[in-house]
Amino acid sequence: YRFSWEVYDGILAELLTENTVWLDGGCGKNLAIEEQTVPYFKIGVDIEVRTDAVHGNPNHYAVACLGLLPFKEETFDLITLANVAEHFEDPDTVIREICRVLKPDGKILLGTTNLRSPIIFMGNLLGKRLRLFIMRKFMSAKENDIFTAYHALNTAKDLERLEGFTLERINFIQDINRSNHLVFLLFSLYHFLTKNRLTRSFQTNIIAVLKKDRF
């Protein structure tokens, strides 16, 4: 068994070289950028100033909206989106902007929730206050770590249909939450029920690599 972050980090390591120009969108504390020793040209972007953001180099962190990035066309080889896509209210605008700043054949590495999973689908139907209560009570989540989720780009079909991109790779992964015994048992059971080829697409996480098409 491998957690989704292990799979994501493994794919990221495959995509990064010393010459990669990399943008991490929705970087949060900017840990991904600072933890990687390569490449030299890398920057984390988030929508607000975070006092807990880590940036050993001031040029490694910027405040910007992913739908309006302050970079020239065809700047980046790689754009990563970890636990971000589910919060896109208008994914078409964001994807057009990402396409603009990506070089030809540039890639997106995306990790997000899977709306085909009953766990995610049912959670999406709950009101914000009830969802927040459940996340805090059973999964040890903090209120400032829970954001509005729209799930407008959260199925394999959504990713296959993205204009200007080709879906190169997709992984379905069921994370096993260890915040308490009951949650661990339930998630473990769901993992075993969905680990075969026929039910794998119902696991709760998607990790995908998309390549920008040449026009």
Instruction: Determine if residue 164 is left, alpha or beta; phi over 0 gives left, psi from -120 to 50 gives alpha, anything else beta.
Output: left
- Judge whether 120 and 205 are in contact, CB under 8 Å: no
Q: How confident is the model at residue 138 (pLDDT cuts 50, 70, 90)?
A: low
d(CA 181, CA 64): 40
Q: Can you tell me the mean pLDDT for 155-182?
A: 93
Quick one: pLDDT band at residue 213, thresholds 50, 70, 90?
Answer: very high
Res. 77 pLDDT band, cuts 50 70 90: very high
pLDDT score of 123:
77
* Cα 66 to Cα 51: distance, rounded to the nearest angstrom: 20
pLDDT at 164 over 70: yes
Q: Which residues of 123-161 are buried (b: 16+ CB within 10 A; e: fewer)?
A: beeeeeeebeeebeeeeebeeeeeeebebbbbbbebbee
Alpha helices in 104-194 (DSSP H): 118-125, 128-139, 156-160, 181-193
Question: What distances in angstroms separate CA 195 from CA 104, 171, 172, 199, one per listed residue?
Answer: 35, 12, 9, 7
Reported as a pLDDT band with limits 50, 70 and 90, residue 139 is low
Mean pLDDT of the chain: 89
Mean per-residue pLDDT, 169-190: 91
**How far is Cα 27 from Cα 19, in angstroms, rounded to an integer?**
21
pTM for the full predicted model: 0.90
Segment 6-14 mean pLDDT: 96
Over residues 96-119, the pLDDT tens digits come to: 999 999 999 999 999 999 999 998
Amino acid at 56: G
Confidence check: pLDDT of 171 > 80: yes
